[in-house]
Structure 1
């Protein structure tokens, strides 16, 4: 895949995340994906997104910056949501949250095969 095709795929993946289209999200992920050095199944990967959405039902990922060199895509995301459940010791008090997320994805055959990422989750405690 070239850079344009990878970015197009990633934008569609983010739209699926924001739409909670679990079947489509799974379709963007390889059956086995390396996440921060840990091998995960497609189901585990999607379940991790589901866990985030359980705590923050309106969680949204907004793409801010992209650096790419196929097969890699590096992104800066601005994430927002409302805390409905306990997270990092803070009760579900319906407070709005926002944070920044930085991730590097390796894409092969239009699927995420590797992800290295971090979010400023300390900001989600405020």
Structure 2
């Protein structure tokens, strides 16, 4: 499961849209909402439209088949307006937490959340 997920994440970071789709069931339950694999990939494309260099880095994993829980750290540059923040080329970063149910070697279900509020802040101006 972990190797499959690492390959999926690499495909996301490489913008390999067709390859990403291969890691998905034809229908994926995303936070309780059925999505086609095309809709799922389009959701990733929407993120990339705002943050063209968005990259996910795997930080932590817990496996309990058929579930895989991950902590991802993401970085990028905001090129378009996002949640009221201007597309001013600000570098941003956030953390995402997700649980994936893997069935037949493909993602069948995803429950996740990201700290999108942090994507409104520049990492240069953020107070920690």
Which of the five TM-score ranges fits, normalised by the shorter chain? over 0.9
Aligned residue-pair number? 121
TM-score (norm 2): 0.94
Counterparts of 1:31 and 1:46 in 2: how far apart (Å)? 11
For 2:64, the equivalent position in structure 1 comes to 69
In the alignment, is residue 114 of structure 1 matched against residue 109 of structure 2? yes
Match of residue 31 from structure 1: 26
Tell me, in whole angstroms, the C-alpha distance in 2 between the residues paired with 1:26 and 1:61: 17
The TM-score normalised by the length of structure 1 is: 0.95
**Structure 1 unaligned blocks of 5 or more:** 1-5
3-state SS of 1:30 partner: strand
Structure 2, unaligned stretches of length 5 or more?
122-128
Map of 1:1-126 to 2, 5 A cutoff?
6-126=1-121
Query: Which secondary structure state, in structure 2, belongs to the residue aligned with residue 92 of structure 1?
Result: coil
**Partner SS, residue 112 of structure 1:** strand
Output the CA distance in 1 between the equivalents of 2:24 and 2:84. 31
* Deviation (angstroms), 1:93: 0.2
The 4+ residue runs of structure 1 with deviation greater than 4 A are: none
Distance 1:46 1:89 in 2: 24
Distance in 1, matches of 2:34 and 2:45, equals 18
1:7-65: CA deviation from partner (whole Å, max 9, x where unpaired): 00000000000000000000001100000010110000000000000000000000000
Offset from partner CA, 1:52-108 (integer Å, 9 cap, x none): 000000000000000011110000000000000011011100000000000000001
